[in-house]
Amino acid sequence: MLKTKIKCPVLPLRDIVVYPKMIVPLFVGREKSVNAIQSVAEEDGNIILLTQKEASVDEPQADDLYHIGTLGNILQMLRLPDGTVKVLIEGMERVKVVKFGKNKDFMEAEAEVLPEEEVSNSLELEALVRAVLSQFEEYVKLSRKTPPEVLVSVNQLKDYAKMADTIAAHLSLKIEDKQALLEGKTLADRFEKILEFMNSELTVLEVENRIKSRVKKQMEKSHGDFGKRPLWLGKSQRKNH
């Protein structure tokens, strides 16, 4: 399959990686980013979403951004009284930037659309998917940050690419790890990375839950012991308090 080249404005992102088929609300405040959003809205075009390597950089340049990102489509745009813009963006396809353009008003780039691989009936991939779904179910139970409905919808997905991206979007990972999942070259590669990250995260969650359970029992025991103490004090004792 031939790679399609596109030229679009770029929206640098702090602390978030947007995956294809995901719909996310974003608050945009930097002048060049607002200009990029405005340009896309006026031309009814698309925008390239690239994550910053360091969220603290206020005016990111080409080297401050990961060069694999997601092509986005603006669904809604709302200007707020403080000058910022709230946008609802849908991720569409993975893209790889090949060249940044020169535009004083906003960042823009030329990129290649990275085609999704055609899924063959691979026993290895099928086994990976089952293992990931099983671990994700355990992750949802232990983390309690992901709504149970997500698990239901993920189990109903037939599109493995969307399944991998949906699970990746709901994992509590460092930005570099989220980016690594976006950059996975094949579905098998992405599912293997997801499994690796989840196994590591589950180990941490299990330890956290054991600690919480132990602390809770200690607190309950302390309250129980406190309740058994006499509530009255003798006269001599009162004088010392």
pLDDT at 66: 98
**What CATH number has the domain bearing residue 179?**
1.20.58.1480
The model's pLDDT over 227-236, given as tens digits with 9 standing for 90+, comes to 666 555 544 4
Q: What is the pLDDT of residues 100-140, one digit of tens each?
A: 998 999 999 999 999 887 776 688 899 999 999 999 999 99
Please tell me whether residues 102 and 128 are part of one structural domain.
Answer: no
Structural domain boundaries enclosing 75: 5-113
- How high does pLDDT run on average in the chain? 88
pLDDT of residue 17: 97
> Quick one: pLDDT at residue 117?
76
Are 133 and 104 members of one domain?
A: no
Q: What is the DSSP letter of 65?
A: B
Q: Structural domain tally of the chain?
A: 2
Average pLDDT in the 57-79 region? 96
Winning range, highest mean pLDDT, from 88-102, 119-133, 196-210: 88-102
C-alpha span between 239 and 241 (Å, rounded): 6
Question: 43, 78, 113: which is the final residue of a domain?
Answer: 113
Produce one character per residue of 91-114: b if its CB has 16 or more CB atoms within 10 Å, e if not. bbbbbbbeebeeeeebbbbebbbb
| Residue 50 CB partners (closer than 8 Å, separation 6+) | 10, 11, 12, 13, 65, 66, 67, 69, 97, 109
Could you tell me if 10 and 102 lie in one domain?
A: yes
Least confident interval from 14-18, 46-50, 207-211 = 207-211
Q: Specify the CATH number for the domain of residue 23.
A: 2.30.130.40
